[in-house]
């Protein structure tokens, strides 16, 4: 490869943070009336993030070995060397999460261009800031910087959750904000304790310093890490700290809920990242071992029970998000390094599937007639309180011009057929039935758990059987709950309108489902990549050496220093 490409590629890791920041800030300056311009800026920024994420993904693979050693790239912000400066670290896991975020963001952005951006202020700016927080949380190698990016994404998510206003949104938003603020305070306490004991905030340096701690300090450190872990588990939506999650996700607008489906995975990412770095000196309870397994299993049971009891599709998908969080946490808690790759595959499938499902839910909501909305659904698609209602069942639109905008859209023929088919595919993906990637994910997860845990006498430990039972049971609960709601949605004799769908709304759902089908077809190469990501993740020495070695920073500014 040419030298200048390599030189410039060293600056790629900062782009996923800078691009949405600039795009979001620029859009704040534009008036609300310049919708087309803001929409194109947002689309351009999201496309750019997807391209950057894909480039980063390719640089971390073995196909391009000469860019970063072991696929771990370190970007020292302002050229301040770790552990004194803040570094961004891109490894295979981070690159994978970036690509997933960007793909989901592209789909939800396209969906929201149809109508959702119009029901409130500054939708696109908040959306870009949310992406900035997500990308930053995946990239950063500094504990306090992680807190800042968590706050960025949470602050944006508060605004997005309230987007469209209405009593239900404000009510669940209040719970969501209070719970997350309390969790952020826990995060701060944990980070401060860790800093007080180790004297550093760099994650790689923390892993090194822990080994040098005296016994009393070690106790204090473990307490700090435990508090930090509780904060992460709140964000990950694990039982018993997730009662806010289903109602918040059900109340959010369809594209907002869809992009939220990756937010719980940020907590899981943090647990994975910090847990793997601390394995060198024995990770404390919330990051590994039996506690995490128990929490994960309880989360699965809670989510499955919620799926059985939910009457409203949005709540049910919220519980599906809870189940997916619990599954991944339980898989991490089994302490088998081989399980990480299947768990990541499951994460990919569940994020894409629940994202598509939330958007699909936004469209099926429109098949209800207005009178029915009042009694059956807790929440109309867009609130009728703040804005006047126009037309029948169509969400009200703020300014006069979009009235024509509704007509411009091409009504998809056989819209109900599309909705039904997409619904079935989403159910297959979420519950893990064959033949789609949900099944592949669950199957590899179970097969690997059995294979790696089976002892010489051919018997697997109780924990593995518990995980298998919980996974299968949650799948069954999902099928029952979703089949019941599906029958009511598509087969019940209540008079319904056939919704007018626009291509720009249907395509994102189809895109996400096609990505899942692609993941099914290309499961082999994908698993190979995820396996290598898991190997890098479970070799914390590689990460620590990459961050703390002076060469990694020297490579970035090599020409200047030599």
Partner 1 sequence: MEIILALAIGILAGSGVWLLLRPRTFQVVMGLALLSYAVNLFIFSMGRVAVGRPPIIGPDNSIDPALYADPVPQALVLTAIVIGFATTALLLVVLLAARGLTGTDHVDGRERDQ
Residues lying near partner 1 in the complex (CB under 8 A): 144, 148, 151, 154-155, 158-159, 162, 165-167, 170-171, 173-175, 177-178, 181-182, 184-185, 188-189, 191-193, 195-196, 201, 385
Query: Smallest distance, Å, CB 448 to partner 1?
Result: 40
Query: Smallest distance, Å, CB 52 to partner 1?
Result: 27
> Which of 43, 148 has the CB closer to partner 1?
148
> Which of 227, 328 has the CB closer to partner 1?
227
Query: Smallest distance, Å, CB 193 to partner 1?
Result: 7
Angle between helices 462-490 and 290-309 (to 10 degrees): 20
β-sheet bridge partners, residue 89: 74
Query: Smallest distance, Å, CB 305 to partner 1?
Result: 21
β-sheet bridge partners, residue 87: 76
> Which of 195, 465 has the CB closer to partner 1?
195
Tokens coding 431: 């519950």
Helix, strand and coil content of the chain, in percent to the nearest 5, comes to 75, 0, 25
Counting Cα atoms < 13 Å in the Cβ hemisphere of 74 gives 31
> Which of 99, 152 has the CB closer to partner 1?
152
Task: Return the C-alpha torsion angle 228, 230, 235, 240, nearest 10.
Answer: 180
Straight-line distance from the first to the last Cα atom of the chain, in angstroms, rounded to the nearest whole number: 22
> Which of 122, 338 has the CB closer to partner 1?
122
Query: Smallest distance, Å, CB 385 to partner 1?
Result: 7
Burial of residue 294 (CB within 10 Å: 0-12, 13-18, 19+) is middle
Query: Smallest distance, Å, CB 51 to partner 1?
Result: 31
Distance between CA atoms of residues 353 and 520, nearest Å: 13
> Which of 165, 528 has the CB closer to partner 1?
165
What are the DSSP calls for 232-253, one per residue?
HHHHHT-TTS-TTHHHHHHHS-
CA distances from 486 to 216, 313, 422, 426, 431 (A): 57, 9, 11, 11, 14
> Which of 50, 134 has the CB closer to partner 1?
134
Query: Smallest distance, Å, CB 191 to partner 1?
Result: 8
> Which of 245, 463 has the CB closer to partner 1?
245
**Residue whose entry in the numeric block shows the structure tokens 């969400």:** 395
> Which of 71, 141 has the CB closer to partner 1?
141
Distance between CA atoms of residues 217 and 204, nearest Å: 18
Query: Smallest distance, Å, CB 224 to partner 1?
Result: 10
> Which of 76, 193 has the CB closer to partner 1?
193
> Which of 173, 275 has the CB closer to partner 1?
173
Q: Tell which residue, 426, 419, 300, 418, has the closest CA to residue 353.
A: 426
What 3-state DSSP class applies to 47? helix
Distance between CA atoms of residues 350 and 359, nearest Å: 14
Query: Smallest distance, Å, CB 143 to partner 1?
Result: 10
Distance between CA atoms of residues 140 and 13, nearest Å: 10
Tokens coding 502: 């626009």
Distance between CA atoms of residues 227 and 239, nearest Å: 16
Distance between CA atoms of residues 287 and 274, nearest Å: 8
Counting Cα atoms < 13 Å in the Cβ hemisphere of 237 gives 28
Query: Smallest distance, Å, CB 230 to partner 1?
Result: 14
> Which of 240, 391 has the CB closer to partner 1?
240
Task: Return the C-alpha torsion angle 319, 321, 324, 329, nearest 10.
Answer: -100
Query: Smallest distance, Å, CB 154 to partner 1?
Result: 8
Query: Smallest distance, Å, CB 524 to partner 1?
Result: 44
Beta strands in 8-83 (DSSP E): 73-76
- Other CB atoms within a 10 A radius of the CB of residue 390 amount to 12
């Amino acid at each position: 490869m040419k030298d200048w490409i390599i030189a410039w590629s060293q600056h790629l890791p900062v782009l996923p943070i800078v691009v949405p920041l600039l795009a979001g800030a620029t859009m704040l300056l534009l008036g609300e009336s310049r919708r087309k311009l803001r929409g194109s800026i947002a689309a351009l920024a999201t496309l750019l993030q997807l391209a950057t994420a894909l480039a980063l993904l390719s640089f971390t693979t073995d196909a391009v070995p000469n860019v970063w050693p072991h696929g771990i790239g370190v970007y020292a912000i302002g050229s301040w060397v770790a552990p004194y400066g803040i570094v961004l670290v891109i490894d295979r896991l981070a690159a994978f999460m970036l690509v997933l975020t960007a793909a989901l963001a592209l789909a939800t952005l396209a969906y929201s261009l149809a109508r959702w951006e119009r029901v409130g202020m500054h939708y696109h700016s908040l959306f870009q800031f949310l992406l900035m927080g997500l990308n930053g949380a995946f990239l950063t190698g500094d504990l306090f910087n992680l807190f800042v990016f968590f706050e960025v994404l949470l602050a944006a998510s508060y605004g997005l959750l309230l987007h469209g206003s209405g009593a239900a949104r404000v009510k669940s938003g209040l719970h969501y904000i209070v719970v997350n603020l309390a969790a952020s305070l826990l995060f701060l306490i944990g980070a401060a304790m860790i800093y007080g004991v180790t004297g550093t905030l760099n994650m790689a340096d923390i892993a090194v310093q822990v080994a040098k701690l005296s016994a009393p300090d070690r106790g204090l450190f473990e307490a700090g890490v435990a508090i930090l872990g509780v904060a992460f588990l709140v964000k990950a939506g694990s039982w018993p700290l997730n009662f806010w999650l289903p109602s918040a996700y059900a109340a959010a607008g369809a594209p907002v809920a869809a992009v939220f489906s990756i937010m719980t995975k940020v907590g899981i990412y943090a647990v994975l990242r910090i847990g793997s770095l601390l394995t060198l000196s024995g990770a404390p309870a919330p990051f590994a071992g039996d506690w995490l397994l128990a929490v994960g299993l309880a989360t699965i049971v809670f989510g499955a029970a919620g799926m059985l009891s939910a009457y409203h599709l949005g709540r049910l998908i919220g519980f599906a998000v809870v189940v997916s969080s619990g599954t991944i946490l339980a898989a991490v808690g089994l302490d088998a390094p081989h399980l990480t790759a299947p768990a990541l595959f499951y994460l990919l499938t569940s994020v894409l599937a629940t994202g598509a499902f939330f958007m699909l839910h936004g469209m099926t909501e429109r098949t209800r007639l207005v009178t029915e909305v009042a009694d059956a659904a807790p929440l109309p698609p867009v609130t009728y309180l703040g804005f006047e209602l126009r037309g029948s069942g169509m969400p009200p639109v703020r300014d006069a011009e979009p009235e024509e905008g509704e007509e411009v859209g091409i009504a998809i023929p056989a819209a109900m057929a599309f909705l039904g088919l997409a619904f079935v595919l989403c159910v297959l993906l979420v519950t893990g039935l064959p033949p789609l990637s949900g099944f592949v994910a669950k199957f590899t997860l179970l097969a690997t758990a059995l294979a790696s845990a089976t002892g010489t006498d051919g018997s697997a430990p109780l924990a593995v059987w518990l995980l298998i039972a919980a996974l299968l049971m949650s799948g069954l609960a999902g099928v029952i709950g979703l089949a019941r709601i599906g029958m009511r949605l598509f087969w019940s004799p209540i008079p319904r309108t056939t919704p007018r769908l626009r291509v720009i709304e249907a395509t994102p759902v189809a895109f996400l489902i096609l990505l899942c089908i692609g993941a099914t077809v290309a499961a082999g190469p994908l698993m190979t990549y995820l396996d290598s990501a898991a190997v890098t993740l479970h070799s914390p020495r590689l990460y620590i050496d990459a961050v703390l070695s002076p060469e990694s920073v020297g490579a970035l500014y090599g020409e200047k220093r030599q």
